[in-house]
Amino acid sequence: MKRTAFRLQPVLELRRAQERTAGLAAAEAERRALRSAEHADEVAAALGGAGLPSGLTGAGFLAAVVGVRALAADAGEARAAATATAQQSDAVRAAWTAAAQRTAALERLAERHRLSALRAELAAEERAVDDIVTGRHTRSREEDTWTD
């Protein structure tokens, strides 16, 4: 018996490719978010370790204060960048989830199609067997009536 092809197979393959691509993008976004968070932690640790040395002259003290303020600004920018990168990673992960859901829906349709084709094939085989059995029964009854 000829199997019918799943007409949406090209779409399913496209959706699987899209899901794989979205998964790779999500992994890369997660790596970027982790790197950004690590950088923010490093800058914050450097700020925590930065202090004003004692015995500085006026110009040296002013330079140290400006350096600590610049480091504090860098720490704030690094934390903001880490937060933005984490939010972007969440958005990319959500896109991956949506792609996976679209793929799963088509995979369920493909499975239903496969099961429907299998049921049709089994029903055709059952009809063929029934025809054979019915034909034998009819032939044996005809033979019995001829011999009586």
46 belongs to a structural domain = yes
Distance of CA 105 to the CA centre of its chain: 13
122 belongs to a structural domain = yes
61's tokens: 């003290």
Closest C-alpha to 37, from 75, 7, 68: 75
41 belongs to a structural domain = yes
pLDDT at res. 137:
66
Structural domains counted in the chain: 1
pLDDT at res. 27:
96
pLDDT one digit per residue (tens) for the chain, 148 residues = 456 788 889 999 999 999 999 999 999 999 999 999 999 999 888 888 877 777 778 888 888 888 888 888 989 999 999 999 999 999 999 999 999 999 999 999 999 999 999 999 999 999 988 888 887 767 666 666 665 5
Tokens 């055709």, located at residue: 124
Is residue 76 within 8 Å of 43, Cβ to Cβ? no
4 belongs to a structural domain = no
2 belongs to a structural domain = no
| Strand ranges for 17-134 from DSSP E | none
Domain range for residue 111?
9-147
pLDDT at res. 3:
66
